[in-house]
Amino acid sequence: MTRSRSTLTKDRLADVARAATGAARHLTAVTRLRGGSKKGVYRLTFDDDSTAVAYVWSPDEDLWDAGPGDPRDPFSHASGLTLFTAAADRLAAAGVRAPRLLYADPTHTHLPADTAIVEDLPGGTLEDLLADDPAAAPQALERMAALLATLHACTGPRFGKVALVDNGGSSYGGSCVEVVVERALSDLDELPARDPRAAEAHPQLTDTVRKLAARVRPRTTPPALIHGELGGDHVRVTPDGELALIDIEGLMYFDVEWEHVFLDLRFGRHYDPLRTEGLDEDRLRLYRLAMHLSLVAGPLRLLDVGDFHDPEFMRGIAVHHLERVLEFAGE
């Protein structure tokens, strides 16, 4: 089924905006912001020129058409107010900035969906800064490295989504590696029907996943707090240079190597200042293959069910990462 996405209007968002900010201010404009494939993200502009941002976790806003995720699966669909508020609370306790929650509506009083109103952080993303202001990049990356050190210094008693673990729950699987391998093999099994090269390499790639997993030694240290999809587009830069994390619903306790594989992929030539000592090279190798597999299967699923605004871009991501996956065949 192809999902068609509509945009909420000012009239539809007026009640929840009033609940968040009071009757003294009136909503004058609503603008959908880019991103947000799992939720609607809207900038709210008021008659005093102040702004806020609305998050709407509605099935009509979710391009993945995935339905509620199983919280015991660390990689299940990370969407919803419960995940957001748990992540926001944990980040605040850790001393890592995220948009401040102004109002939450879990009872669907104003819209038929979970809704939150959060502060609008002025300024662009770290991704934009790195592309547009090379002179400011070194200091911004230094601050990003400090943010990562603070984030990853926090640990949990078990791996899994923050909303689950911080409430005493446990995830499926015996270890982070076990969960990653299961997911990688599942992603791999989707590819032969999509590409003849993937079909031909499927046996070798399956063997490679298992061989790489066998090289990873058990870990006794607790899992770290990680964002999970930490590219520069998920970091806001305020006018004073402070960094804040957005799209935080996937926050979890996990192997820090999973975060660093994603950082390396997304930051590219800017990754070196973010690199840290003590990473397990065997985990990195396994997780890199698993990440490439996820970035083939995930975009293709999105194209199957959604109306993503730039399908050729998403298809290009899948093709690029399939090329990387095929480089692992025969290891």
Contacts of 8 (CB under 8 A, 6+ apart): 30, 32, 40, 42, 54, 56, 111
Domain ranges of the chain: 10-119, 126-326
Instruction: Using pLDDT thresholds of 50, 70 and 90, give the confidence band for residue 306.
Output: low
What pLDDT digit, counting tens, does each position of 154-192 carry?
A: 999 999 999 999 999 999 999 999 999 999 999 999 999
* Per-chain mean pLDDT for the chain: 93
User: What span, in angstroms and rounded, lies between the C-alpha atoms of 90 and 240?
Assistant: 24
User: How high is the pLDDT of residue 1?
Assistant: 41
Region 27-42: mean pLDDT is 89
User: What span, in angstroms and rounded, lies between the C-alpha atoms of 267 and 227?
Assistant: 15
Q: What is the DSSP string of 8-45?
A: --HHHHHHHHHHHH-TTS-EEEEEEPS--SSSEEEEEE
Judge contact between 241 and 143, C-beta under 8 A.
Answer: yes
User: Which of 31-35, 72-76, 92-96 shows the lowest mean pLDDT across its residues?
Assistant: 31-35
Instruction: Using pLDDT thresholds of 50, 70 and 90, give the confidence band for residue 6.
Output: confident
User: What span, in angstroms and rounded, lies between the C-alpha atoms of 94 and 227?
Assistant: 13
Q: Please choose, from the candidates 24, 26, 25, 30, the residue with its C-alpha nearest in 3D space to the C-alpha of residue 10.
A: 30
How much is the pTM?
0.94
User: What CATH number is given for 10-119 in this structure?
Assistant: 3.30.200
Helix (H) or strand (E) holding 209: helix 196-214
CATH topology assigned to domain 126-326: Aminoglycoside 3'-phosphotransferase; Chain: A, domain 2 (3.90.1200)
User: Which of 8-22, 28-42, 114-128, 138-152 shows the lowest mean pLDDT across its residues?
Assistant: 28-42
Instruction: Using pLDDT thresholds of 50, 70 and 90, give the confidence band for residue 2.
Output: very low
